[in-house]
Structure 1
Amino acid sequence: MLNRKKFLRAGASAALFALLLPLQAWAQVVILHTNDIHCGVDRNLTLARVAAYKKKQKALNPQTLLLDAGDAIQGEPLGKLTDGRAMVRILNGAGYDFAIPGNHEFDYGMDNFLSLAKKLDCGYTSCNFVRLDTGKPVLAPYRIFPFKERKVALIGVTTPGTLVSSTPRFFQDEKGHFIYGFCEDKAGVKLYRQVQDTVEEAREQGADTVILVAHLGSDGSIPVWSSRALLAHVTGVDGLIDGHSHEQYEVFYPDRNGKMIPVAQTGTKLQSLGRMVIEDDGTIRGELVRELMEPDPQVEKLVRKEMAKVDRALSQKVGESSVELVDSLEGQRAVRQKETNLGDFAADAFRTCFKADAALINGGSFRSGLPRGAWTRKTLLTLFPFGNQAVLRSISGQQLLDALELSVSHAPEENGGFLQVSGLTFVYDPAIPSPVKLDDQGNFARVEGERRVRQVMIGGKPLDPAEDYLVAGTSYILSDGGNGYTMFRDTTLVAEPGLSDVDILADYVQKQGVSEAYRKPEGQGRIRIDRK
């Protein structure tokens, strides 16, 4: 593994003097890359500066590409209020040459995604997003760029976890049968085979260099779908540009033959810009650019225009707080691995709205914290950008026990399926191997062995596996089986009032405020770690 501090210093230095180099100093092909922008076009480097950097690089070396490795169009109000259309307009303005869909490109529905794929100038590419009736890719599986002395193939790979991390029903027909898939199975074999076949096809079509552009990450919920696992099972790949896990790194992973392959990821919301260089002899080097110069004025103007539309729509004040509600602690997305005051507050809002026995909110729903001070509707939509609908269902105690086991099955690692709770308390032992078994699609199948979770109390009384409880939450978890919570699919729907998660929070803060009970960032002790 490359020393990251040394690597980051190199990237920062490159940004300062790269534009001063003469044309002959540039390598044959330069690939600039982003990932997990999540609508953060005005954050960190900003997309206007990325666009300007790309233009200047291309002026020096026409063999320059700009690509994105997924999760660009979702994550903030800019995406949600326009179903991704504003982001596509901005990506077009920035001059992207290639893009793949991450799991969140599908969050506005399949019809919308396919429409956006036509509106994006470079289109979307993915070799493993397939129709199940034919087994054929829905999108172009790869693209070959015929440069002067080298043909470079870029192959798109989308995480198979999309089926559970986006809304499952978007990939189903009206009868609830899956009609789309991502070459998923428990062993990863289908994914490896699909990618290997695509690599070989690209080589047969004359590609001299093959780069995987993947939305897989290094901490996938199912390890066999990580970028490292994929590379370990394929050959013929020269580099991998990654996304999904929101990390910044430039590392090397071995392929099936032991060849070390460069892998890069740029964090999230434009924390850095990746720069992968293919030398004249085919060798590849990479670096992260951490500083950029002047923005592109046209892209900056476009961003301001789109953001102004959002700001006007969301400037209404909905409440205020004297305490900060946090999603992150000590540099970790804590809401995905432990209780936080933000999770307590949101779950309480759902339980109060429905007068439910309990409420469950998955950690992956939270995309920011809530600051001390005034909150507007934009504040809440930045927190909950998905527009998940609020529901109330009748759920058995046994189903709740299974759900809590699935919730902590990855703990203490981050996992979007970790549940923040209201109305119930429990302890769990992470030293016990998780007894949860998943099916080929990453959904809950059963529990086998000693359970991690114990001492579950609901309403101050021990949970009864045979009793039914009223449980509030979002349709994503309780109705659609998101994050693998398929144990809830056949439960009884009691209420679905047509309110979004943002509506629930806005009503709660207006009526209840934010009490001192939420002052501790680590929450109120509803979820405790206890070792035997």
Structure 2
Amino acid sequence: MTRNLRKLYSAALAMLVTLLLPVVVLAAGKEIIILHTNDIHCGVADNLGIDKVSQYKKDLKKQGHPVALVDAGDAIQGAPIGTLSNGESIVKIMNAVGFDFVIPGNHEFDYGMERFLKLASRQKCGYYSCNFVDVKTRKPILKPYKILTLGGKKVGFVGVTTPETLVTSTPKYFQDKDGKFIYGFCEDQTGEKVYRAVQRAVNNARKEGADYVFLVGHLGTNGSISYWSSGAMAANTYNIDAVIDGHSHELYIPPHKVTNKAGKDVLVAQTGTKLQSLGRITIREDGSISSDLIQELKAADPKITKLVAKENKRFDAILNQPVGEAMIDLTIDDPKTGKRRVRCSETNLGDFISDVYRSVLDTDIAMENGGSIRNTIKKGVFTYNDLLQSFPFGNMCTVIEATGQQIVDALEVGVSNYPGEHGAFMQVSGMTYAIDSRVPSGVVVDAKGNFVEVKGERRVKDVMVGGKPIDLNGKYTVCGSNYILKDGGNGLVMFKQSRLLKDGVMMDVDAIMEYVQNHLNAKIKEGYENPYGAGRIVIK
């Protein structure tokens, strides 16, 4: 009896192995797929939709493909669902989708360091960055890399976060109570420190047996400091198979390649923003690697669709509250080209928010950095949700007393990249100025990107306050956001020693609500008809 059972068991086992063999061979023969996103900025229901990304990953797995889904930063901030949940709703959705590797972008820190570290502990796959360090010990705060086994191969992912984070998020979040930086990103004025941090992590991943290594970076190209860009990172390192990029919201048309330090061409991929596309990197059986962008997906994961709707519904009562009516589009873009304009030129939405600040806070001047203005307010009735889409940072209204010299220094920083973009480009009220683009920028910054001085001729000319030339030694009341006037955001540290007159009076969106309802009778019309603004900023 026992012998017969043994024979029966052996036969059954042999049959099972025979049946399974083709499946194993088929799975091993499938291409490895790396799906990637960047700069989602809470746009989980925008464009492709995160529910379709989730289903696509599942479908690839069903087809036998080994698959990993990675994100290159700036996922949890940028829309009301992020602002009102302090990032938690997006982390919850990312966990449900099943991201395998995630890095922090500069805006992951916008809710404060304590909050980021708490969210990092809730991110199931973890956050990774090889260059986010404790300044004192120089040790990484997060794990620098992760190795996944995909299709029998070990695939390493190394995270790197732009050192610009120190000034493009809120600087005080990286400082102690005395204003001394306690966190850093291997910043210097050449890029060498961060190149070394990346190479060290890549080498360690290879030593652990990684067959492939991908750098997942929040670095960017357009508007990024050149030596911290993804192209510079690829060019100054080696043994990286491809770079998955973010930060600059660009669509790199495949195959986008950069020659690395060893003379080898390396793919660099980026997918735009708010799920405009889904990146797909394919590792074939022969070891060759290719990339493409997916811009259409049909099937959606019903569980993720339901979860996104549930998270959005939590805030419906607040978000659907009507604020007023815009009789024209208040724009951040050039209506002729569709390109973003608010970070390099005047727009009517820039004029409007600056007027809001100056009227509500009753100051000589208002200054609003273009990087804080994120979305056009469309013609028609607009809601609190629309305001939060345009102003998602929760910036607080602040008033300082500043000298004319500090004011023109700030303007000079804002135009330093012109005609390129700069987050510190100033939209203004109560003043006008001109930009002479023929003059090269003389702005000098330190290793962290903070303003030091202006050398040589200035690009900013003809600065007028209340119709009179600005007095460099005079003092003016200036209102704007705490990010710029108090916290030194975008490297504007010239205001750090200014006398603080009003601190955190109200959120920017609440100031807009007050202005629209109490000063404009809930209708925005006269004075903002021209999308290019009222002529407060002139280009020479």
What band does the TM-score fall into relative to the shorter chain? Answer: over 0.9
Give, in angstroms, the shift of residue 23 of structure 1: 5.6
Q: How does 1:267-306 map to 2 (within 5 A)?
A: 267-306=272-311
Give a deviation string over 1:33-82, Cα, whole Å, max 9, x none.
Answer: 11111111111110001000001111223521111111000000000000
The secondary structure found in structure 2 opposite 1:520 is coil
Deviation at 1:495, TM superposition (A): 1.0
Alignment counterpart, residue 499 of structure 2, candidates 471, 487, 492:
492
Give the equivalent residue in structure 2 for 1:415. 422
- Paired residue total: 509
Which amino acid letter does the alignment assign opposite residue 526 of structure 1?
Answer: R
How many angstroms does 1:483 deviate by? 0.4
Structure 2 residue 167 is the aligned partner of structure 1 residue 164: yes
Work out the CA distance in 2 between the residues paired with 1:354 and 1:240. Answer: 46
Q: Report what 2:15 is aligned to.
A: none
Alignment check: 8 A CA contact 1:44 1:271 kept: yes
User: How far did residue 282 of structure 1 move?
Assistant: 2.1
- The 8 Å contact of residues 28 and 152 in structure 2, kept in 1 or not, is answered as no
* Corresponding letter in the other structure for 1:283: S
Partner in structure 2 of residue 150 of structure 1: 153
Question: How has the CA–CA distance of structure 1 residues 290 and 25 changed in structure 2, closer, same or farther, with 3 Å as cutoff?
Answer: farther
1:11 aligns with: none
Match of 1:312 among 313, 317, 323: 317
Task: Report if aligned partners of 1:35, 1:68 keep a CA contact under 8 Å in 2.
Answer: yes
Q: In the alignment, which residue of structure 2 is the partner of 1:507? A: 514
Query: For the Cα contact (< 8 Å) 2:28–2:151, is it kept in 1?
Result: no
The equivalent of 1:342 in structure 2 is 349
2:239 aligned with 1:242, yes or no? no
1:58 and 2:56 aligned: no
Q: 1:279 Cα shift?
A: 1.6
Local SS of the residue matching 1:516: coil
2: distance between equivalents of 1:115 and 1:410? 36
> Of 360, 365, 378, which aligns to 1:371?
378
- Counterpart in 2 of 1:323? 328
1:430 aligns with 2:437: yes
On the 8 A contact 2:130/2:140 being kept in 1, the answer is yes
Describe the superposition over 1:431-484 as per-residue Cα deviations: whole angstroms up to 9, x where unpaired: 211010010001111010111111110011000001000000000000000001
Q: Is the 8 A contact 2:30 2:66 kept in 1?
A: no
Q: Which residue of 2 aligns with 1:388?
A: 395
User: Please, which of 452, 466, 480 is the counterpart of residue 445 of structure 1?
Assistant: 452
| 2:233 paired with 1:261 | no
Deviation at 1:504, TM superposition (A): 1.1
Q: For 1:298 and 1:151, how far apart are their aligned partners in 2?
A: 30
Instruction: Provide the TM-score with structure 1 as the length reference.
Output: 0.94
- Structure 2 counterpart of 1:74: 77
Displacement after TM superposition at 1:506 (Å)? 0.9
Aligned partners of 2:164 and 2:449 also within 8 Å = yes
Q: Provide the C-alpha distance between the structure 1 equivalents of 2:143 and 2:124, rounded to a whole number of angstroms.
A: 14
Does the Cα contact within 8 Å between 1:327 and 1:369 map onto a contact in 2? Answer: yes
Query: What is the SS of the residue equivalent to 1:336?
Result: coil
Which structure is larger by alpha-carbon Rg, 1 or 2?
2
The answer to whether the Cα contact below 8 Å between 1:35 and 1:244 also exists between their aligned partners in 2 is: yes
Inter-partner Cα distance in structure 2 for 1:40 and 1:165: 20
Quote the residue 2:218 is aligned against.
215
Q: Distance in 2 between matches of 1:113 and 1:399?
A: 32
State the Cα RMSD in Å: 1.3
Query: What SS does the corresponding residue of 2:222 show, helix, strand or coil?
Result: coil
2:12 corresponds to which residue? Answer: none
What is the alpha-carbon distance in structure 2 between the residues aligned to residue 147 and residue 85 of structure 1? 29
Q: CA deviation at 1:367?
A: 1.2
Q: Find 2:527's aligned residue among 517, 523, 529.
A: 517
1:270 positional shift: 0.6
Aligned equivalents of 2:237, 2:526: Cα separation in 1? 54
TM-superposed deviation, 1:416: 1.2
What is the Cα deviation at residue 258 of structure 1? 2.0
1:221–1:415 Cα contact (<8 Å) kept: no
Contact 2:435 2:538 in 1 (8 A): yes
| Matches of 1:525 and 1:482, distance apart in 2 | 26
| Gaps in structure 1 of 5+ consecutive residues | 1-21
Q: How far did 1:236 drift?
A: 0.9
How far, CA to CA, are the matches of 1:238 and 1:120 in structure 2? 26
Distance 1:26 1:377, change over 3 A: farther
Please tell me whether the aligned partners of residues 221 and 248 of structure 2 are also in contact (alpha carbons under 8 angstroms): yes
Q: CA contact under 8 A between 2:401 and 2:475: conserved in structure 1?
A: yes
Same amino acid, percent of matched pairs: 51
C-alpha distance in 1, partners of 2:127/2:412?
37
Please tell me whether the aligned partners of residues 209 and 282 of structure 1 are also in contact (alpha carbons under 8 angstroms).
Answer: no
- 1:256 counterpart letter in structure 2: K
Change (3 A) 1:185 1:126: same
8 Å CA contact 1:327–1:368 kept in 2: the answer is yes
Aligned to 1:5: none
